[in-house]
Each structure stands twice: as structure tokens, then as C-alpha cells.
Amino acid sequence: MKKLYSSVLRTFKGGVHPPDEKRHTADIAIQDFMDPKGDMVFPMLQHLGAPCRPVVKKGDFVLRDQVIGEPDGLGALVYSSVSGTVKDVKPMPHPNGSKVMSVVIENDRQYTTMEKDIQPCSYKELSAEQILDRIRRAGIVGMGGAGFPTHIKLSPPPDKKIDHIILNASECEPYLTSDYRVMLEDSWRVVNGLRIVLSLFPGAKGYIAIESNKPDAFQALQPYIEDENDIELVGLKTKYPQGGEKQLIHAVTHREVPSGGLPADIGCIVINVDTSVAISRAITQARPLQRRIVTVTGDCVKNPGNYRVRIGTSFREVLEAAGGVTKEPAKIICGGPMMGMALSSLDVPVIKTSSCLLVFSDSKAYLPEESACIRCGKCIQACPMHLQPYELNQLVLRRDWDGFIKWHGPECIECGSCSYICPAKRHLTQTCKLGRQVVAAMRKQAAKGGKSHG
Amino acid sequence: MAKEGILSASTSPHQRAAHSTASIMRDVIFAMIPILIFSVLYFGWRVLLITGLSVASAVLSEWIWQKLTKQKVTISDWSAVVTGMLLAFNLPASVPWWMPIIGSAFAIIIVKQIFGGIGQNFMNPALAARCFLLVAWSSAMVTFQVDGVTVATPLAYLQSGEESMVPSYLGCFLGVIPGCLGETSKLLILLGGLYLIWRKVISFVIPLSYIGTVFVLSYVLGGDGLYQILTGGLMLGAFFMATDYTTSPMNAKGQCIMGIGCGILTVLIRFYGGYPEGVSFSILLMNICVPLIDRFTMPRVFGTEKSSFFKKKEEKQS
């Protein structure tokens, strides 16, 4: 039996304990929903960075696994997950609330696959360059939510020595169980993806970091790492936001990502469970990223569960696949309840970073009324970045952007812990987000205008 | 409330904890009810009259002030009820009936509302009102009666050197001693305090550091530490007054400084001051230091250099 990295559960300072609500979907096997009937929409923005450039035009016939968008700057390739005719290339509603240039494909439901020029093989037969190239060509991005292009994350500058590869298996957001189910059902690929990444960084150690509320996942992964000397299991306390990149790194390594820096600056790379599976598939099956696991849950959903869906499928169809709704939905969220985006319509597509579809009725979506801050300090204790949320809230309400910077407002990771815990129901995270956006815009403006404004 | 078919698109987080300002205040009231019941049994029905008038005056003052100044009425957050009860707990049962009325009105209007209402006052309203009453009508405030007979409190006996008159440890712990109507039963105050800690309404830091400082410092100065913590308003002050959110520091380090500061001041007043009881004044004095304490105990922001807040300020000045 392989021992845990440490018998003591590791964690970070701060955080909250929202009810995890995972029981609705945790024990149901992933179901396939791979034959969508409606049009497929592929936004050119499914990652962090600049939108891709569409490389197909209206009327083109495309095959499954065909490239339809190429990155312009920071980004990742976008593939079609079906075969069919391009109906249109135009801005379409995106889960982020805006309209984004998208390729709309009428699905012929034949799923004719494009001929590959690479063959499935073991990662041991490939050089590091070949592995990175396959990951880039598979269009893989961080599937935990942020969507940072994986091939760039795995190519840190040569002066950064990477010694920790951390597989983020904490899944701390309430309701979400997609990573948990993947670990149970696809354990080999999860570990294999980590092995592939480890092969890129000789001398680095792999860590699989799992929250203590997922003992089954521990057991499922254990047989696959039994003989690996360079992979350890790390038990984490169940606490939100344990899966936040900076919090996770701190819990595992006791290192702090410096302000404005990247994990690579302190020798760490963090990858998500589903990303690891995608990496494994890109190498050993030579398949690009064109499907993902989505948790469909919430008090309105008839058959909550995890569904394997093609990227580009509309959320309306995904919800129908889960039996539709039993009550009138009042709020529909793409992602978890702490950091997810509320959708204004179900007619937006599943993208590479969509982990969850959460459908809340009126009683769950109810927004409590704000009242005056009572200085209880609960937000300070909850903030995983050790900020002063009550003060940042006042600074933003007063439009004091200099003060916001001085009080480290831009360090906020928008995890939602402060708003969650606030007994006065103040919109702390919300104002912090606003402050960060204003400051980012101001800095952009200053960079553009040179010193004339500064 | 969402209309049929219209989705709410507010920004995250979409989930809030179950507690609220009102639920926290109600928890404080629950913690005080056993103390009130004991007080009625020990001091008589007049306790209910004093407490009732104090609470009614606090709530009514808040309502009238907010109506007059055209603000949103916030009496439903129960904070005025807490203030009224705490003030009553700091009065002798024998005070004239109009004193809790004036005291609560002072607490709510002068100490709380004029500075901006809940969360904005710089002193504990109930304690400030108590000190106001103490200065204005001192004889009524220091006359303690049990069964209609005027007696001195244990601390007063200690100060005047009549140590043979002081009650036993057990009597002090159970609360069968003269004193303000809510401060005598240490047992029930302790239970109420533990309830608040268990409900995560307060943290243990201030009560522990406050009571611990008094205990240790009393022995250091040649007194009886155990007796000091079992008498007077220390327990009530440490669990229910010094832990007031608005007038206490927000993180553990600052709370510890506050508790130790309160403890030192209390012992100094009790041992060397002209007044047998020092809890109210020491908490009020520490209340005033809270903004300063908060500033100096600010935690280091994750991923930044230590106390960069001050460093940046210095750079700006130089």
C-alpha cells in the first residue's frame, strides 16, 4: 500500500465551508450524450488569450477533428467535434455573457473523422518536443475554468526549474463532481496524463492533491501509482477554495506564488484532472480535445448527473439530456455556485472550460438584501489571499482606485469566500471584481498613452 | 424575485451562508436569556421591568431616529435589542425606572446613530451609556440591594479592606452575590459565552486573553487572581461587551492585543484606582484604540513582502 505524502491533511489559511451538495451526482456514472441534434456552435474564444481566427467559411464541409480556428497570439486550436456543413461564421452568444465570433456547424450526425497524420503511441516513444507539439495540436487548455493554453503552461522559460507537477484533484467548488467521476472511471488516463507531463521535466516530482471528502478517488488512483516513485498522493483538508491554484501550491509545497508571478516562478505547474485526461488522449490516442464532462445539477434538474458531451453542444440540449427541469429555473449558472457565470440564456455552447451546468429555482437563486457592514471580520478570516474585503468594498464604492491598489485589491482571486460568509450580505467579491476590472483598464490605458497620463 | 422565464444574471458567488446580522444578534440574545432568568429569580421581578424598559427604549429610539432622519429602519436586525439588554445587565436592579430609558436612548442615539448606525460606532453603546449614567447619577448606580437590603459588592469590600465580608468563591461563581443584574452569575455567563463560541459568533481570543491577563496580573501584583475573575463585571464584559464586532479588532492578533490591554487596564483600575470596578472603562478605552490596532495587525497579503502596506506609504512620503 502506497503511503500518503503526509498523514496530516494539508491546507491553506482562510477559506469557507459551503455545503458541498455533491451527493446529487457523485454516485452516478458518467453518461454519454454524444449525438446532439441541434446546430453546433464553436466560439473562437475558449481559452485565456486572444480569440482564434476562423479558418473555415460558410458552406464548407468539415469533418470531425478538423481545425476550424487557429490562434492569433496566445491561444489554442479549436476543432470541430462533429462532421457537417458550416452554416455561418458570425458573433454568437458566449457563456461569458458577450458575443464572440463563432463557427456554426449543422451536424450531419455521421461523425466522419478526419484522416490523422499522427498515430496513437506511448509517450515513451516521443521526444519532449513531439509531446508538446501533440498537446498544442490537440488544442488543450486548462479545463478547470481559467482555460490557460496547456502547451504554453508546459513550456516555461528555460531559467525556471520546474520541480513540482501538481495534479489538481481537489474539486472544491460545491455541486461539481465531474473530476471526481473521471478519477473513478478513467483513473489510468488521469495518472497517464500526469506521467506524460512529468516526462517533460526530468527530476520533477508529481503530486496528486485530493480533498479528504473523496476517499474513493484516493483508492481508485492508488493502484496506478503504486510502482511510481516520483508520484505522491497528497491529502488536503476539505475547504473552499482549496483548488485555487495559489492555495493548492501553498498547501502542497508551502511556497507562495509571488504577487504578479506565475506558478512556474516557484517551480510549480498545476494541471486539472480533466486536462490530464485530455493530454493522455492527445498522445496515446492522437485525438484532439473535442469533448468534456459536464456536471448537470441544481434543484431544478430532473436527472442530475455527469454527462460526456461534445464541445459546441448547446446547454439547452445538455439540460434536455438530463431530463429537463422540474421547476421554473430562476438562475442558470455555467460553472460552480462560487465562481460560475450566470447565463442569460441556455442557447450558448459548452466550451472547453465548462465544467458544470447549475440550474437553480427561485429559492436557491434568491439574492439577499445588502445591509451595513458590522465589522465582524469574517471576510478577513475567510480571504485566502489575506486581503481586507470589507475595506476594498468601501474603496470601490467610493471610486478610490488608488486606495484599491494600495490595499492590494488586484491580488483578489475572486473566489467568492468573502461574499459567501458576510452576515450583512454585502457584495464584497462583486465590488472587488469591478475594482480589478477598472484598475486593469486603467493600467492598459496608461500603457497605451505612455507617460502622458501617468 | 425573478419573473416567469426571466433569468437572474447576477455575478458570482451565487450562494450565501445561512447566517445574517439578525441571526447573529438573536444568538447573542439566546445566550443572555439564562442569565436574565437567573437574575429574575435572585433579584426579583424588578429585573424584568428594568430590562423591558431598557430594550423598549433602545428599539424605539432607533425607530424614531431613523424615521426622523428618513433612513431605512433597521430595528429588525435585533441589534438594538442586544444593546438594550446589555445596558440593563450593567445596571443594579434597584435603579429608578427612568434610568434605563434615558440610558438606552443615549446608547442608541448619541453613541450609535449619530456616528452612522450599526457598524460605525467607535465605542460600545451599552457601555458608553452605562458610564454616562454612572457619571450623571452615581449614587443610584452604585447602590446594590438584595432582598431590599443595601449591600456592597465583593469588589467594594476588597477595596475597603473588609476582606472578612467577601463571599465565597462558589457564591461568586454561582452568582448569589450583590452586583449589577446581569453580571453576577459567572456560571451562566460562561455557558452563554461558550454557546457563542460554539455558534462561531465570537472567537475565544478576546475572552481568554482578557480574563487570563486579569488572572495572572492580579497574582503578580499580590492579589487573588481567581477572586478577581469571579467578581465584578469581568466575565460579562469579556464575553459579551469586549467582543462586540464593531468596537473590537478584526483579526486574532489584534483581538489578543485588545484582550491583554483590557486586562491590564482593569487590574490597574481595580488595584490602584479610586473605583472598585474597572471593566467598563477599560473596554471603552481599548475601543478607542481599535482602529490603530487594526492598522498595525493587518495580515501580510499572500505572495507579497511583509507589511508592504506601510512600506508603500513610506516611499510615497519620502
pLDDT band at B167, cuts 50/70/90? confident
Determine the Cα angle at A46 with ends A43 and A49, to 5°: 115
Residue A44 located in a structural domain = no
Residue A75 covered by a domain: no
Q: Evaluate whether residue B226 is within a structural domain.
A: yes
Whole-angstrom distance between the N-terminal and C-terminal Cα of chain B?
Answer: 53
Q: Is residue A139 part of a domain?
A: yes
Test A362 with B2 for CB contact under 8 angstroms. Answer: yes
The helix (run of H) or strand (run of E) holding residue A165 is: strand A164-169
Is B67 touching A (CB cutoff 8 A)?
no
Domain boundary among A250, A284, A318: A284
What total of structural domains would you count in chain B?
Answer: 1
Domain that holds residue A439: 378-452
Q: Provide the β-strand partners of residue A89.
A: A103
Residues A273 and A384 in one domain: no
Establish if A229 belongs to a structural domain.
Answer: yes
Q: Is residue B268 part of a domain?
A: yes
Structural domain span for residue B239: 22-296
A276 and A392 fall within a common domain: no
**Residue A386 to residues A14, A156, A211, A265, A420, Cα–Cα distance (Å):** 7, 28, 22, 21, 16
In a shared domain, residues A264 and A384: no
Is A57 contained in some domain? no
Minimal Cβ distance to A337: which of B14, B119, B313: B14
Q: What would the pLDDT profile of A252-307 be if each residue is shown by its tens digit?
A: 999 999 998 999 999 999 999 999 999 999 999 999 998 999 999 999 999 999 99
Q: Say what the pLDDT of residue A1 is.
A: 43
**Shortest alpha-carbon distance between residue B112 and chain A (Å):** 12
Domain membership flag for residue B3: no
Q: What is the CATH number of the domain that holds A268?
A: 3.40.50.11540
Residue A437 domain-assigned (yes or no): yes
Among A240, A263, A284, residue at a domain's last position: A284
Do A280 and A394 lie in a common domain?
Answer: no
Q: Is the pLDDT of residue B2 over 50?
A: no
Question: In this structure, is residue B13 part of a structural domain?
Answer: no
| pLDDT of B216 over the 50 cut | yes
Contact yes or no for B21 and A424 at CB 8 A: yes
A140 and A272 co-located in one domain: yes
Quote the ipTM score: 0.88
What is the Cα–Cα distance from A358 to A213, expressed in whole angstroms?
Answer: 21
pLDDT for B171: 86
Contact A377 B2 (CB under 8 A): no
Do A251 and A11 form a contact (C-beta atoms < 8 A)? Answer: yes
Would you state the pLDDT for residue B318? 39
Interface touch B23/A423, C-beta < 8 Å: yes
What digits encode the pLDDT tens for the residues B127-157? 999 999 999 998 888 888 776 677 777 777 7
Co-location of A136 and A277 in the same domain: yes
Give the number of domains in chain A.
Answer: 2
In a domain, A189, yes or no: yes
Q: What digits encode the pLDDT tens for the residues B170-199? A: 888 988 888 899 998 999 999 999 999 999
The number of residues in chain A equals: 454
Q: Which residues of B touch A257 (CB under 8 A)?
A: 303
How does pLDDT run across B259-279, given as a tens digit for each residue?
Answer: 999 999 999 999 998 777 789
Q: Which among A159, A162, A230, A223 has a CA at the least distance from the CA of A194?
A: A230
Last residue of a domain, one of A245, A269, A284: A284
Distance, CA of B171 to CA of B112 (rounded, Å) = 36
The verdict on residue A217 lying in a domain is yes
Per CB-CB distance under 8 Å, the chain A contacts of B250 are: 375-377, 380, 390
β-bridge mates for residue A105, sequence order: A40, A86
Please state whether the peptide bond connecting residue A71 to the residue before it is cis, i.e. omega within 30 degrees of 0: no
Q: What is the pTM of this model?
A: 0.91
Count Cβ–Cβ pairs < 8 Å, chain A vs chain B.
Answer: 156
Residue A105, C-alpha cell as written in the block: 456547424
Task: Please judge whether B245 and A386 are an interchain contact, meaning their C-beta atoms are less than 8 angstroms apart.
Answer: no
Question: In CATH, what number is assigned to the domain containing residue B168?
Answer: 1.10.3430
The runs of H, that is alpha helices, within chain B are 21-43, 46-68, 79-89, 98-105, 125-136, 138-141, 154-160, 169-174, 186-198, 205-220, 225-230, 234-236, 252-272, 279-296, 308-317
At B101 the three-state DSSP class reads: helix
In-domain check, residue B123: yes
Residue with cell 445591509: A371
Q: Within a domain: residue B168?
A: yes
Residues of A in contact with B2 (CB under 8 A): 330-331, 362, 365
User: According to the model, what pLDDT value does residue B6 have?
Assistant: 79
On the 0-12 / 13-18 / 19+ scale of CB atoms within 10 A, A339 is: buried
